[in-house]
A and B are shown apart, each in its own frame.
Chain A
């Protein structure tokens, strides 16, 4: 079945560090990828929609200058958390799909801890 790979799975960094997370669709082309964030005991919240070759669409309240998204190819999207602070500590998950309204396939998630 469709596989989405996300890397790294765990990051612990000092405050002020920028962290890049990669999301790859391994066996299909994903014109659209999504980035979600999940705080403890909360639901997944969509942060942004990443479209190959164009600018990402950010959800209300998500700072585009803080969460930089690059979708340079049909199989790779990256999320960079710039100058991360402790409040950015969360579980970040990407997903990808090739078709509208079809189930999405999720990466394993990245657990980000900022000290």
Chain B
């Protein structure tokens, strides 16, 4: 199975900080990319899809670089509630998702 690699962290940042996560994938045929958020002992929840043109949703910005095979997630003005594990996910043909191990974020007061 092709790999999805993430820095496990943890990233400890103060409230209000900007933090960025990167993720690399090895399968050049990957077609779709997502960022999921997983809280401790909970199921993953979709944070946002990642488009080639880049996309923004409020304080979150995701970008895809197909040439270098990485995607990124930028979180601005971090909130305490942003503390979670962020999972980088790619999908090849078909439906199945391939997850990275996740990057832990802890936002502190």
Could you list which residues of chain A lie within 8 angstroms of chain B, going by C-beta atoms?
6, 32, 34, 36, 41-46, 49, 59, 91, 93, 95, 97, 100-109, 111
Closest Cβ neighbor of A34 among chain B residues:
B96
- Count, A-B residue pairs, CB within 8 A: 54
CA distance A46 to B2 in the complex (A): 12
**What's the Cα separation between A101 and B94 when bound, in Å?**
7
Q: Which residues of B contact A (CB under 8 A)?
A: 1, 31-32, 34, 41-46, 49, 87, 91, 93-102
In the assembly, what is the distance between CA of A91 and CA of B96, in Å? 18
Among the listed A41, A42, A104, A108, which residue makes an inter-chain contact with B97, where contact means beta carbons less than 8 Å apart? A104
Cα A88 to Cα B65 in complex, Å, equals: 38
Contact A44 B44 (CB under 8 A): yes
Known A-B contacts A101-B31, A103-B49; the reply to A43 vs B99 at CB < 8 A is yes
